[in-house]
Amino acid sequence: MVESTLTIGQLAKRGKVSTSLLRYYEKEGLLEPVGRTAAGYRLYSPDSVRHLRFIRKAQRYGFSLNDIKLMRGAAHDSPASKHDIRDIAEQRFMEIERRVTEMLVLRHELELFLDDVTTQIGETAGEDVGNQYRELMEQVCGHDHASDSQTSLRKLSERLGCNLASVEWENLFRDLRGEHIHVWRDDSDGYSVLFANDDPKISRALRQLAAGETGCDAHIEPEVSAADDGILFTARGDNAFLFAQLFLSLEAGGD
Q: What value does the mean pLDDT take over residues 68-88?
A: 71
User: Measured between alpha carbons, how far is 192 from 173 in angstroms, rounded to an integer?
Assistant: 18
SS3 call for 162: coil
Q: Per-residue pLDDT tens for 23-35?
A: 999 999 999 999 9
Q: Average pLDDT, whole number, for the chain?
A: 79
The CATH number of 161-255 is 3.30.70
Among residues of the chain, what percentage have pLDDT more than 90? 25
Using left for φ > 0, alpha for ψ between -120 and 50, and beta otherwise, residue 16 falls in: left
138 and 214 in contact (C-beta within 8 Å)? Answer: no
User: Measured between alpha carbons, how far is 5 from 33 in angstroms, rounded to an integer?
Assistant: 10
Which residues make Cβ contacts (< 8 Å) with residue 99, sequence separation at least 6?
none
For the chain, residues classed under CATH 1.10.1660.10 are 6-55
Tell me which of 151 and 208 has the higher pLDDT: 208
Q: Per-residue pLDDT tens for 48-69?
A: 999 999 999 899 888 899 888 8
The pLDDT score that the predictor gives to residue 11 is: 94
C-alpha to C-alpha distances, 110 to 13, 95, 106, 141, 150, nearest whole angstrom: 44, 23, 6, 10, 21
CATH of 6-55, picked from 1.10.150.530, 3.40.50.300, 1.10.1660.10, 1.25.40.10, is 1.10.1660.10
Claim: this prediction has a pTM higher than 0.75: no
The pLDDT score that the predictor gives to residue 232 is: 95
For the chain, residues classed under CATH 3.30.70 are 161-255
Q: Per-residue pLDDT tens for 117-172?
A: 777 877 777 777 777 776 766 666 655 444 443 355 566 666 665 455 555 677 78
Residue type, 69: K
